[in-house]
Structure 1
Amino acid sequence: METTICALFTIFLSTVICCMIVLCHLVGLETEAVSSYRFPTNGTKVGYFIAANLLNSEDIFPQFSHEIVQLATMLGRTSHTFISIYENGSRDKTKKFLQLLSKMLTEKNIAYKIVCDSASFSNDIDSIKRLALVRDKALAPLFFLHSYNQLHKQTKIIFLNDIYLDSLEIYRLVKTRAENYDWVCGLDFYRGFYDRFVSRDIRGRIFSRWYPYIREEETKRLLIQQVPLPVRSCWNGAAVFSAQPVIQHNLTFSGSLNNQNDSRCGNPRSECHMLALSFRKYNYTRIWINPKILISYDSTHLKLQKLIHQHFRPFFGFFNDILMHWFQKPWLDDDDACPQLPMLCC
């Protein structure tokens, strides 16, 4: 009798599980991470590792797919490329677009790994730590390639946010200073300069939202002249940095967050800022912004900023200098424990 009951219960439980799986597929949900990949053949050395995190990003497709393939093709003329994309929790058509992208990459013979994950994070984890975790997921194949000796000594990591991707702009960013840098960014915009959570000038001060963005005279002059300028840290929608310190010192976004001694505030402002500080900790201090590279998150803001920078940049710089001089508090010094954003720029 007990054996019969156990058998019936097992059948019932199996039926319930099967029904749940079928239901998940019917409503378009996924029960686990789904990966598609094509790794380089043996003996291939990857010179450019392109990484991206996407979430509810259907608005940037199909532009993103076309441009990332184009970017890999342009870079692939001199060295092999690898594309790593980690997506999790999207409720729009992002997963479907990524499935199409994986087919495009396979047809173009481009090595890649795309992960579409349904994993969710505990509410106990704050947003910065969650971002660090998902960025680490996109970075993970780099360590796999290293374990199989498939990285160049000079491999560059090209890490993209969910930007309106322009392959030529990112290609030019990669080629800044003939690739003689440890880390380089452009300038990103959304209703003014955007990524002020990460960007610090050479003295460690926060950028302004408005042109010319920085107050330190020497680097401001370089920015006005449209030549690369040294900074303490940056990200700005897309960052290109050396893989060597990442591999050599096992650097991750999450690991950099845990190094609270690098933070000047009680809580880190950004996982990207903390990774840049980890670079500096190991003496990889050649961090630059190329002001010619303009990045945004939709075509409208990108076109607007290109128009402003081309025709109205000097006027805005003069106007901002007057306002900063007469109406705004002085920019904070390096020894401030936790710099606040300037009043005019908030």
Structure 2
Amino acid sequence: MFNNNIEILPHWIKEFTKVIHYLGTDNIFISVVESHSWDGTAEMLDEWKGTLDGMGVAHLIRTRDQTIPRPAGGKLKIEFLSATRNLAMAPLVEHGGYDVVLFSNDVLIEAESVVELLKTKNGEWDMVCGLDLARWGMYDAWVVRDRLGRLVSSLWPYFLEDAGLHAVMADEPAPVFTCWNGIVAFRADPLLPISLRTPGRLSTFPHSHPLPDTHPAYPQPASLTPALTPPISFRSTGPKEPCYSSESFNFPYDLRRQFDMQRIFLNPRVINSYEWRFYVWYKYITRHWVVRWWIKHVEAGNGMQFAKMVIGVPAHVWSWDGGECHPHLDGYQYL
């Protein structure tokens, strides 16, 4: 998904071309959606199409797409992002044929980090996220919840519960309830029509956690199994859901609730960012061994890392089936 990304696109294309060579040109399909750009992004992607053709890589790169109107912001932005992500997923949904989806936002990242993401936990995951960083720390704190469903800090080591905190301090993948953070990989089957799924990939046992009555897919038969659950897609918050969330939160939430996919991790070694100044700072400067030693053993957060990043009034944080909810739109549940 690209929009006016001329500053990062040359780097992104170079690094993902390396990833293509690593994974094998016959093993992948590239799907890109660009829309509403005016800075040369579309032209650069058009040029990459020719490169992919020469490499023999199957692809569908949509440039200058105008089928989805781009809103100014607010709730309509989530609907726009959901529709655009689903457009990028359309070739997979229509034809299947692949086991894993690697979904990159318009981020700066290195090919080695992408491979690191895929190799997280030796591939024993249902979904795994990178770590997008900006300014004072974690950028996508609106989406991330720790393994207990609680809000997190934007400051290293980000998590306030022991498993996540110690994992990040050891530079190891942290179990989380939800995440996105710039780049993710997840199993493809939940997006596919039942007829296109690979037998045995999804559980044939009934769901362990019944859907709450606020979920858009409620009600569902008690005997329904993940293997026979209809496919999901990126979506905005449902009309009865009590917490306003992004499509990037709703997707891993639905993986858990509708497909019983509980192995979701955030890999702190997969650093990415949306701006060069932050990428250089977090990828190279703060990763230097001297700086890392200072952060871990001397500064150690100075206590500030124990403050949750809350969008809204902290006293108004409340919990629902998806964990703790940011109160930035108090009263949304009554709209």
Matches within 5 A, 1:32-47: none
Say if 2:252 is the partner of 1:276: yes
Shift of 1:228: 1.2
Matches within 5 A, 1:211-226: 211-226=156-171
Shift of 1:169: 0.6
Number of the residue aligned with 2:286: 308
Query: In percent, how many aligned pairs have the same letter?
Result: 27
Larger Rg: 1
Number of the residue aligned with 2:263: 286
Distance 1:114-1:205 versus aligned 2 partners, 3 A rule: same
Is the 1:63–1:164 contact (alpha carbons within 8 Å) kept by the matching residues of 2? yes
Say if 2:44 is the partner of 1:68: no
What per-residue deviation string (whole Å, max 9, x for no partner) do you get for residues 48-79 of structure 1? xxxxx1111111122122112111111128x6
Aligned length: 275
Distance 1:329-1:139 versus aligned 2 partners, 3 A rule: closer
Number of the residue aligned with 1:207: 152
Shift of 1:190: 1.3
Distance 1:339-1:243 versus aligned 2 partners, 3 A rule: same
What per-residue deviation string (whole Å, max 9, x for no partner) do you get for residues 140-199 of structure 1? 1101222xxx33xxx110111100131111111011111110000111111121001211
Matches within 5 A, 1:141-220: 141-146=91-96, 150-151=97-98, 155-191=99-135, 192-220=137-165
Number of the residue aligned with 1:227: 172
Shift of 1:201: 0.5
Is the 1:205–1:339 contact (alpha carbons within 8 Å) kept by the matching residues of 2? no
Distance in 1 (alpha carbons) for counterparts of 2:91 and 2:84: 13
The alignment's C-alpha RMSD in Å is: 2.7
Matches within 5 A, 1:1-346: 53-76=1-24, 80-116=27-63, 117-121=65-69, 126-146=76-96, 150-151=97-98, 155-191=99-135, 192-247=137-192, 248=194, 249-254=230-235, 257=236, 259=238, 263-265=241-243, 267=244, 269-281=245-257, 282-306=259-283, 307-310=285-288, 311-312=291-292, 313-314=295-296, 315-321=298-304, 324=307, 334=319, 338-340=325-327
* Partner AA of 1:320 in structure 2: G
Partner of 2:16: helix, strand, or coil? helix
Contiguous gaps of at least 5 residues in structure 2? 195-229, 329-335
Contiguous gaps of at least 5 residues in structure 1? 1-52, 342-346
Is the 1:205–1:333 contact (alpha carbons within 8 Å) kept by the matching residues of 2? no
* Partner AA of 1:290 in structure 2: N
Is the 1:89–1:119 contact (alpha carbons within 8 Å) kept by the matching residues of 2? no
Partner of 1:62: helix, strand, or coil? helix
Partner of 1:54: helix, strand, or coil? coil
Distance 1:176-1:122 versus aligned 2 partners, 3 A rule: closer
Is the 2:318–2:325 contact (alpha carbons within 8 Å) kept by the matching residues of 1? no
Distance in 2 (alpha carbons) for counterparts of 1:322 and 1:72: 38
Partner of 1:210: helix, strand, or coil? coil
What per-residue deviation string (whole Å, max 9, x for no partner) do you get for residues 114-151 of structure 1? 011133527597111111011111011101222xxx33
Is the 2:157–2:169 contact (alpha carbons within 8 Å) kept by the matching residues of 1? yes
Distance in 2 (alpha carbons) for counterparts of 1:229 and 1:200: 11
Number of the residue aligned with 2:208: none
Shift of 1:251: 1.2
More helix by share: 1
TM-score scaled by length of structure 1: 0.73
